Amino acid sequence: DVVMTQSPLSLPVTLGQPASISCRSSLSLVYSDGNTYLSWFQQRPGQSPRRLIYNVSNRDSGVPDRFSGTGSGTDFTLSISRVEAEDVGVYYCMQATHWPFSFGQGTKLEIK
């Protein structure tokens, strides 16, 4: 099974400062159709997961442009250019290239 490893697991950030989360997979996430099925989800306290980024770098509709995704192969990053109070929550990467699909452990972002 593909193991997704996120770091850090806890991320205290000052408002207005940048933040980044790393996600590494134990296998390349390039699928046979040429796509890389790596997504990022945000889960605010008490809410369901919300997809932010799909296929490494495509931002979902309504997601602020301060969120961006980069990476390839086995190494991926979610970046937030300037953290706002509403960004507090847990962030998960997810691979959907190899079954069983899998999530990272989650990174808890909090305001310092």
Partner 1 sequence: EVQVLESGGDLVQPGGSLRLSCAASGFTFNNYAMSWVRQAPGKGLEWVSLISGTGGNTYYADSLKGRFTISRDNSKNTLYLQMNSLRAEDTAIYYCSRGGRLNDYWGQGTLVTVSS
Q: Site residues for partner 1, window 5-34 (CB under 8 A)?
A: none
Task: Report d(CA 70, CA 53) in Å as an integer.
Answer: 10
Binding status of residue 49 toward partner 1 by CB under 8 A:
yes
Minimum separation from the CB atom of position 90 to partner 1 (A):
8
Task: Report d(CA 88, CA 98) in Å as an integer.
Answer: 30
By residue count, the chain amounts to 112
Minimum separation from the CB atom of position 60 to partner 1 (A):
7
The SS3 of residue 75 is: strand
Binding status of residue 106 toward partner 1 by CB under 8 A:
yes
Tell me how far apart the terminal alpha carbons of the chain are, to the nearest angstrom.
36
For binding to partner 1 (CB under 8 A), which residues are involved? 1, 37, 39, 41, 43, 48-51, 54-55, 60, 90, 92, 94, 96-97, 99-106
